[in-house]
Amino acid sequence: MKEQALPGSVGGQHALGGFIDHTETYGPHIIEELVKSLQNVETVAELGAGSGRDLQIVRRLHPDAKLIAIESIYASWLEGKADVIEAVNIERDRLPLADEEADLILANQVLEHTKEVFWIFHEISRSLKIGGHFLFGVPNICSLHNRILLPLGVQPTQHKICSAHVRPFSKADTVKFLNSCFPGGYELVAFRGSQFYPFPRALARPLANAFPTLAFTIFFMLRKVRSYNGEFAAYPQRARLETNFWTGQ
């Protein structure tokens, strides 16, 4: 008798998952489109670089850029795919970047796995140049299929308790988070959607392009527009949040 997978141990378990092109979830075409639009890219860091897929897109589009892979689990996969590989706990450690060193920081399908979002954004904001960009992709708790599931009493697929995801994201709440913690610090220069459940790629891609706030994955391209003075790290105490957050102290 075949042993059944434990809940959360694999993705795409629903029967409709067979119709879906799961590469769309990671949006490599979105990464390529947005990275291609940038100029004068000299230093790039990726948080949770994984297999190095997105760094290779950057390498192809900006061959002279210095690539820094920040990866604590899959570092061995990155040999030859980055100029520097650093094993860093992004929820606890400083990023291996000087203040205002990076032109571009990437994080694709990473932030939903983290609790210490204030510390992570503190370090990103410290490390980015004014005019530098932060490009990140996250599952969308407000995707169309989740809006259908919730009235039926079914929890969003990307945020089951038996899963690796611990923090939900939507466009509106992410923008509110940025503006509350670092007012006037970032400009949202691009917002995109990728993957559209439960449709095959031929339908999913045009639907995600037309209705990004209903897509499975949402991508934000932020531009840092003013100097950073520790606002993200200060926010939990300033707002008197009733949860302990790591802020570097």
Residue with tokens 């769309």: 24
Largest CA distance in the chain: 60
Render each residue's pLDDT in the chain as its tens digit; 249 residues: 556 665 665 655 555 566 789 899 999 999 999 999 999 999 999 999 999 999 999 999 999 999 999 998 878 889 889 999 999 999 999 999 999 999 999 999 999 999 999 999 999 999 999 999 999 999 999 999 999 999 999 999 989 999 999 999 999 999 999 999 999 999 999 999 999 999 999 999 999 999 999 999 999 999 999 999 999 999 999 999 999 999 997
What's this model's pTM, rounded to 2 decimal places? 0.93
Task: Specify whether the CB–CB gap between 169 and 140 falls below 8 A.
Answer: yes
Task: Specify whether the CB–CB gap between 49 and 78 falls below 8 A.
Answer: yes
Set out the domains of the chain in order of their start, with CATH numbers: 15-238 (3.40.50.150)
User: Residue 226, CB half-sphere, CA atoms under 13 Å: how many?
Assistant: 10
